[in-house]
Structure 1
Amino acid sequence: MDLILRSTRVVTPGGVRAARVAVTDGRIAAVLPYEDGTAAAVVEDLGDDVLLPGLVDTHVHVNDPGRTAWEGFPSATRAAAAGGVTTLLDMPLNSLPPTTTVANLRAKQAVARDRAHVDVGFWGGALPGNLADLRPLHEAGVFGFKAFLSPSGVEEFPHLGRADLEAVAGEIARLGGLLIVHAEDPGELAAAPQRGGARYADFLASRPRAAENEAVAALVDVVRRAGTRVHVLHLSSSGTLPLIAAARAGGLPVTGETCPHFLTLTAEDVPDGATEFKCCPPIREAADRDALWAALADGTVGCVVSDHSPCTTDLKVPDFATAWGGISSLQLGLPAVWTEARRRGHTLHDVARWMSAGPAALAGLSRKGAIAPGRDADFAVLAPDETFTVDPAALHHRNPVTAYAGRTLYGVVRSTWLRGRRIADHGTPLTEPTGRLLERA
């Protein structure tokens, strides 16, 4: 064995137990009894710190190339490594060019290669007019296709109308692929009151629950007709959850995710003018937060991912109507979710299921997401009972803006390991990028 990591608390698919995890050639060779005498070149004794599978974050906007003042592969993946994330999938928009053709995918891969501290894969984009590009992108190894049902916020990534959505869904069904969707209905958004200014209540009214609810209902109808596998992104409205539950109960291939900010923050607590809290769909009331936790508990929602969508500080103006919408949280997702999960009686086994196993299964990353023989030796080592206060200047993403500034969180990431190699230690990423570029199996 090259390496053994020993802990009194190892989070395996079967539960949390004392164990020794043996690593050979970057893969998990065995999960052994805690007192097993198997020899290894290196033994790392973690004591009572928890050994988790490395997190898999399938919703990250790296913005590279093109908007690298906002973020880039070096900074984003350093933040990921510091936060226990060992695999991320990059969204197809906010970079220039967007990942909507094979040529654009190759350009993005060229920028990411040899600059990533964690493993990186790519989503393709589905736009009006690029139907013929979907098959080549699928064959080039993207993990699926993202579409918007309402304006995305960037001109180069327009949203799909109803006819385009039907055509895209049909083509992705023929490919056996995955369609992931930003689901807000443009008609409901247009009908909502649109008031500029610093009041969060006005912004919340401009993105009503009905916009999410109507869009998810329309998606379920599309799935019923086309049979396309559809994943609904960043759920915030409690009204979407019965729709997804009913679709799944009826055998339809519909899944959903939510994000740390929807599980830990509430509209009632957002100060006016604090546009670091702005995202779309928005952070809603405490009742929606409670419903999302219930949906995670009963399996209606299976993934918690960051939707890390950073920007430069100057774009977070105090007017909610004009500020860039996105929350920077890539490094903080694990402690943010764990802080609220432990308060609600959930376990780290639950957190690993939502933040590692679930996203890995969504993307078909069969070598990621669990501490089990044959998987990549990707780990996060967590001190779950220690706390820290978030200092934006100490985070590794490019711009020091985050909605978690000043919050005290449980869960200190001691170290992060990628294929049996330590890539971050006590919040400091090691200097050499060792991440690989991933393609759909």
Structure 2
Amino acid sequence: MPERLVIRAGRSFLGGAFRPAAVVVERGVVVDILSVGDRVAGAKTAIVPDDAVLLPGLVDSHVHVNEPGRTEWEGFRSATLAAAAGGVTTFVDMPLNSIPATTTPAALAVKKAAAQPSAFVDVGFWGGAVPESLGMLAPLHAAGVYGFKCFLAPSGVDEFGHLDRSQLAAAMEEIAAIDSRLIVHAEDPALLHEPPAHAAGALGRGYEAFLASRPPASEASAIDAVIAEARRTGARAHILHLSDAGSLPAIRAAKADGIRLTVETCPHYLTIAAEDIPDGASEFKCCPPIREASNRDRLWEGVVDGTIDAIVSDHSPSTVDLKRSGGGDFGLAWGGIAGLQVGLSAVWTEARMRGIPLESVLPLYTTGPARVAGLTGAGAIEVGAPAHLTVFGVDDPFRVEAAELLHRNPITAYDHRVLSGRIRRTWLRGRAIYNVTEGAAGAAPRFRGKPKGRLLSAAVGAVS
């Protein structure tokens, strides 16, 4: 009989609430959930301390790994190690900025070949809807992508073009026909204020000029277009990285009308305010941009009232040189926030200051992104589910040092921030893959074993 593992915790997140439980694992699957003191014969036991909680492995449906092609930005080994250290046991990889972009079945095969030997956590894949691939999405859908990403404004990389309004309509029709989902970077290029041609893209070191170049009206216009096409076609649509809280009423109304619409936001929009971004600090550049504190407050209202379905990292790293391009000029620096490892800690720190309980935030890190992507068996501790589990020390102090994170490049908007709450231990299918040991030098991460993450397919299930 295979060895059983029982994990006992005074606070286990089960069915949306905390309660004492003993979670029994066999062959990588949760086989029983018992009272915390129940005996389990022949089982190895792990005890979660009283100052920590047992959570389902977190799910992140928005991660840019960039391998192959731009592996110096991030690769599957570094990204999945950082994920495990952040409690994330399942993520879905974006179809850019790798080369080739994941817009064909052949490109998906290349991506999987890069991921398979290096993944410490489970990884699924989004496909891309670009002008050249419209009318040919069905084969990539059949190959197992969880849906299709498109941009309505330039993506920043030449190999992943954006859709105009007529192409958005065509993509929605195609998505509806194959019953997939379209996930949309929603900015209207007609309402973006690009630098003049003679400036060669430069905006200067002040954040205000960059913020003004990507106004809320651009986001709102694009979101309105997505809602209109989802209404017309009946297709499933998802709004990526919402930064404009002014669009929440339109999203609420669309959902109330039964439109198949979901929306995510990101830790950086919930924890950082434009007013606090120093001149030249291009590690804070992302698109759409981090907006003002008043906007951040209204985004939190969308989190609390359930309008926002998921909080995801939008981990979009690059090299330090690219992030510092132009000496901190916000027009010239690469846009993207590296934060895969620290998302829950950052959001929990902000939530507790606002009096929002942890159990209100956790669904947006677990079942929420799982539903957004259509992942099955992820984000919940329940009988029959994979034993993806993590231990979170809710009061553990956590000072972020970019050089100590497991992301490939030591630059992040969270550098030097002091957070509350840290992941202490992570299991993948009942196998301990990460823990933090405390010593004289402080907390040190430790990994066990070889990469054992699986590549997930929406079409045929997990593939080892």
Does the alignment reach a TM-score above 0.5?
Answer: yes
In structure 2, which of residues 40, 47, 62 is the aligned counterpart of residue 38 of structure 1? 40
Is 1:106 aligned with 2:113? no
**Residue 192 of structure 2: SS of its match in structure 1?**
helix
Equivalent position of 1:421 in the other structure = 431
Answer with 380-389 or 32-41: which moved more. 32-41
Distance 2:42 2:367 in 1: 27
Equivalent position of 2:293 in the other structure = 286
Contact 1:256–1:302 (CA under 8 A) maintained in structure 2: yes
Is 1:370 aligned with 2:380? yes
2:275 corresponds to which letter in structure 1? E
Is 1:212 aligned with 2:219? yes
Which aligned pairs between 1:218-237 and structure 2 lie closer than 5 A? 218-237=225-244
1:38 corresponds to which letter in structure 2? V
In structure 2, which of residues 370, 394, 418 is the aligned counterpart of residue 360 of structure 1? 370
Distance 2:16 2:36 in 1: 15
Equivalent position of 1:175 in the other structure = 178
- Cα deviation 1:140-166 (Å, max 9, x = unaligned): 000000000000000000100111111
**Residue 21 of structure 1: SS of its match in structure 2?**
strand
Distance 2:73 2:65 in 1: 8
Answer with 183-192 or 164-173: which moved more. 183-192
Answer with 111-120 or 425-434: which moved more. 425-434
Answer with 30-39 or 422-431: which moved more. 422-431
In structure 2, which of residues 39, 46, 68 is the aligned counterpart of residue 65 of structure 1? 68
- Rate the CA distance shift 1:150–1:415 in 2: closer, same or farther, 3 A: same
Distance 2:410 2:202 in 1: 28
Gaps (5+ residues) in structure 1?
Answer: none
Is 1:86 aligned with 2:89? yes
- Rate the CA distance shift 1:195–1:112 in 2: closer, same or farther, 3 A: closer
Shift, 1:428, TM fit? 2.9
- Cα deviation 1:176-198 (Å, max 9, x = unaligned): 00100000001001479886110
Is 1:97 aligned with 2:107? no
In structure 1, which of residues 163, 166, 169 is the aligned counterpart of residue 169 of structure 2? 166
Distance 1:342 1:39 in 2: 39
Distance 1:24 1:293 in 2: 39
Contact 2:238–2:262 (CA under 8 A) maintained in structure 1: yes
In structure 1, which of residues 264, 284, 289 is the aligned counterpart of residue 271 of structure 2? 264
Distance 1:90 1:117 in 2: 14
Gaps (5+ residues) in structure 2?
Answer: 437-444, 460-464
Distance 1:369 1:125 in 2: 25
Is 1:326 aligned with 2:344? no
Contact 1:376–1:419 (CA under 8 A) maintained in structure 2: yes
2:380 corresponds to which letter in structure 1? A
Distance 1:436 1:379 in 2: 16
2:359 corresponds to which letter in structure 1? H
Is 1:348 aligned with 2:358? yes
- Cα deviation 1:367-397 (Å, max 9, x = unaligned): 1111111111111101101112111111111
Distance 2:312 2:319 in 1: 22
**Residue 129 of structure 1: SS of its match in structure 2?**
helix
Taking only the aligned residue pairs, the percentage that are identical comes to: 56
- Rate the CA distance shift 1:303–1:251 in 2: closer, same or farther, 3 A: same
**Residue 131 of structure 2: SS of its match in structure 1?**
coil
Contact 2:16–2:363 (CA under 8 A) maintained in structure 1: no
Which aligned pairs between 1:110-125 and structure 2 lie closer than 5 A? 110-125=113-128
Equivalent position of 1:76 in the other structure = 79
Equivalences, count: 441
Shift, 1:55, TM fit? 0.6
- Cα deviation 1:280-307 (Å, max 9, x = unaligned): 0000001111111110111110100000
Distance 1:31 1:348 in 2: 22
**Residue 452 of structure 2: SS of its match in structure 1?**
coil
Equivalent position of 1:54 in the other structure = 57
Shift, 1:351, TM fit? 2.3
- Cα deviation 1:178-227 (Å, max 9, x = unaligned): 10000000100147988611000000000100000010011111111111
- Cα deviation 1:1-24 (Å, max 9, x = unaligned): 611100111011141011111111
Contact 2:265–2:308 (CA under 8 A) maintained in structure 1: yes
Contact 2:195–2:203 (CA under 8 A) maintained in structure 1: no
- Cα deviation 1:70-125 (Å, max 9, x = unaligned): 00000000100111000010000100000000000000001101210000000000
**Residue 136 of structure 2: SS of its match in structure 1?**
helix
Which aligned pairs between 1:109-148 and structure 2 lie closer than 5 A? 109-148=112-151
Shift, 1:341, TM fit? 1.2
Contact 1:192–1:208 (CA under 8 A) maintained in structure 2: no
2:392 corresponds to which letter in structure 1? L
Contact 2:65–2:93 (CA under 8 A) maintained in structure 1: yes
Is 1:156 aligned with 2:166? no
In structure 2, which of residues 5, 21, 38 is the aligned counterpart of residue 19 of structure 1? 21
Contact 1:113–1:436 (CA under 8 A) maintained in structure 2: yes
Distance 1:160 1:94 in 2: 17
Is 1:437 aligned with 2:455? yes
Shift, 1:37, TM fit? 1.4
Shift, 1:41, TM fit? 2.5
Shift, 1:366, TM fit? 1.8
Task: Kindly report structure 1 stretches of 4+ aligned residues shifted beyond 3 Å.
Answer: 190-195
